[in-house]
Amino acid sequence: MSMMTEMMTSMKDMPSMSMMDMEAMQECMEACSACEQACIMCAGSEMPADTGKCMNMCMNCADVCSTMTRMMMRPMAYDMPSMMAMLDACMAMCRACYDECMMHADTNMCCNMCAQACMDCYEACEKMMASMKSMMA
Amino acid sequence: MSMMTEMMTSMKDMPSMSMMDMEAMQECMEACSACEQACIMCAGSEMPADTGKCMNMCMNCADVCSTMTRMMMRPMAYDMPSMMAMLDACMAMCRACYDECMMHADTNMCCNMCAQACMDCYEACEKMMASMKSMMA
Amino acid sequence: MSMMTEMMTSMKDMPSMSMMDMEAMQECMEACSACEQACIMCAGSEMPADTGKCMNMCMNCADVCSTMTRMMMRPMAYDMPSMMAMLDACMAMCRACYDECMMHADTNMCCNMCAQACMDCYEACEKMMASMKSMMA
Amino acid sequence: MSMMTEMMTSMKDMPSMSMMDMEAMQECMEACSACEQACIMCAGSEMPADTGKCMNMCMNCADVCSTMTRMMMRPMAYDMPSMMAMLDACMAMCRACYDECMMHADTNMCCNMCAQACMDCYEACEKMMASMKSMMA
């Protein structure tokens, strides 16, 4: 069991935890955290003048993913409307960053790996959102 | 003219800038930045055991507002779907944090001021969103 | 009185506050916050291939200044060794970012303004450090 | 090979990379990132009124570790004085947060795990610092 899983598990008796599917959330936290890191390294790896947009997209995506990860790590503040709106924002950001990085995936290995991390994060957020909707139903 | 306004103005010839109402955005950046600061101080000011939720809401709101501010400061990455989804998330977060802080506004002066900053930020994001929708129409 | 000053003043009875010169700290918080913003905008404004180093320095400086600001906004965690080490790091980062931005200050207005914000932040941190040393003497 | 290692390795031909011991740095990045996460969860887990200091220490430590991780992920901005000063700050912060969390390690499992993450991070930063000093010698 990873440290993250162990710490989150130790908080499982908080009432707010009952609103969340812990498995989907663990996966989502890991994917958001990996995406932040990929985006930071991708933004820092680029040289050519024509990738200013990509670099800035990656900086945005890193900050969005960092915020999303932190929100999931704070069970006392689980509030459905803000969590779901932030998941939407994270999906929109990951999609935009993926599209941009894919344009340079052939020539920049960091863009290639960053695009993959964005796609993984998008899918993990989508699953998390679905699990939240089903818990509320 | 503030440093922020001056620096943003120096980038006004970037093509992406034409999609934004600079006045609404300046106001929104200032409000988001002020809200981040109020939330950090509010989270750090609280003592009693019963405000764990408020503290965590404020930490979330601080991170969301920081990310929102940074996204507006990066014109090369203005992408309508991700900017608008993030504005939605910022509004949802500010509303939730406002509601929580208002419950302690009588007894904690920091909660009182933080609630005000959240409301100001909510309204500035709402205006920014309206201006973006009208530029796209 | 600014919101920041008002909120910090409302916490002035916390025991840890007695270790700090509130005036020097207010100035330092404002300068760190302004420097973070200048660095984010400067990093986002640059196009040419040869400013990759400058962009990355600015991203680092933004994150360092954000952390420094947040630490000063959390009186309950005033711990002299970590605060002073972070002030040192902030001064070293601002100096390095200043030096880098000054190389492009003639051609990039954002670098020019960012260098100024770095110098202001460096000086405010230096004063804050001096005030902390004198309170401990 | 982890994604982080793979992306950092893809940048190994940048001139600035020759100043760093990649193995020590990988370990340091992983430890700083894990410490940020432990601190966020620890700060979010605490209820009792008497842990206000601990919570705020953890919030500081999370932000310091996030900044340290990001700086290591930006090879173009490797600048020895600012990197070493930030490593010093990270060590001082991890030590202070460790000391604080250890006071509640018996009663709060999150504090226990967070203290461990702080100690691991401290040691990884110490090794990284030693490797940087030996590369400069």
- pLDDT category at C48 given cuts 50, 70, 90 is low
Please determine, for residue C50, whether its predicted confidence score (pLDDT) is greater than 80. Answer: no
Q: Which two tokens stand for residue A28?
A: 């989502």
Closest partner residue to C113 (CB to CB) among B3, B41, B44 is B3
- Each residue's pLDDT tens digit, B42-64: 998 876 556 789 999 999 999 99
Residue ranges and CATH numbers for the domains of chain D are 21-136 (1.20.1270.360)
Cβ atoms of D115 and D98 closer than 8 Å: yes
Confidence band, pLDDT 50/70/90 cuts, at residue C124: very high
| pLDDT tens readout for residues D16-59 | 888 899 999 999 999 999 999 999 999 988 765 567 899 999 99
Selected residues 34-63 of chain D with any CB under 8 Å from a CB in chain C:
52-53, 55-57, 59-60, 63
Q: Which percentage of chain C shows pLDDT scores above 70?
A: 96
Instruction: Give the best residue of B40, B45, B59, B66 to mutate against chain D (max D CB count within 10 A).
Output: B59
Report residues of chain A scoring pLDDT below 50.
Answer: none
Q: Which of D38, C72, D66 is nearest to D46 (CA)?
A: D38
Half-sphere exposure of B108 (CA within 13 A, CB side): 24
Q: Cβ contact (<8 Å) for C42 and B7?
A: yes
Is the per-residue pLDDT at C49 higher than 70? Answer: no
Give the pLDDT of residue C104: 87
Closest to C67 (Cβ–Cβ): which among D56, D63, D91? Answer: D63
Neighbours of B132 (CB within 10 A): 20
pLDDT score, position D136 = 84
Both ends of chain D: CA-CA distance in Å? 30
| Residue spans of beta strands (DSSP E) within A86-130 | none
| Whether the Cβ atoms of residue A59 and residue A39 lie closer than 8 Å to each other | yes
The Cα C25–Cα C48 span in angstroms is 37
Does any CB of chain C come closer than 8 Å to the CB of residue B22?
no
Given a cut of 60, whether residue B20 has pLDDT beyond it is yes
Distances in whole angstroms, Cα of residue C72 to Cα of each of A37, C82, D1, D89: 27, 11, 39, 14
* Alpha-carbon radius of gyration of chain D: 16
Please name the amino acid found at residue D67.
Answer: T
CA dist B63 and A54 (Å) reads 23
- Which residues are within 8 A (CB) of D15 and not within 5 positions of it... i.e. 6 or more apart? none
Q: Locate D22 and state its tokens.
A: 């990649």
Q: What is the mean pLDDT of residues D120-130?
A: 98
Which of A68, A42, A71 is closest to A57 using CA atoms? A42
| CB-CB neighbors (< 8 A) of D89 in chain C | 82, 85-86, 88-89
CA D87 – CA D128 distance, rounded (Å): 8
Task: Describe the crossing of helices D80-102 and D52-72 by its angle, rounded to 10 degrees.
Answer: 150
Among all residues of chain D, which has the CA nearest to that of B56? Answer: D44
User: What is the per-residue pLDDT for D52?
Assistant: 86
Residue C131, pLDDT above cutoff 90: yes
Helix ranges, D73-108 (H): 80-102
Interface test with chain D among C76, C94, C125, by most D beta carbons within 10 Å: C76
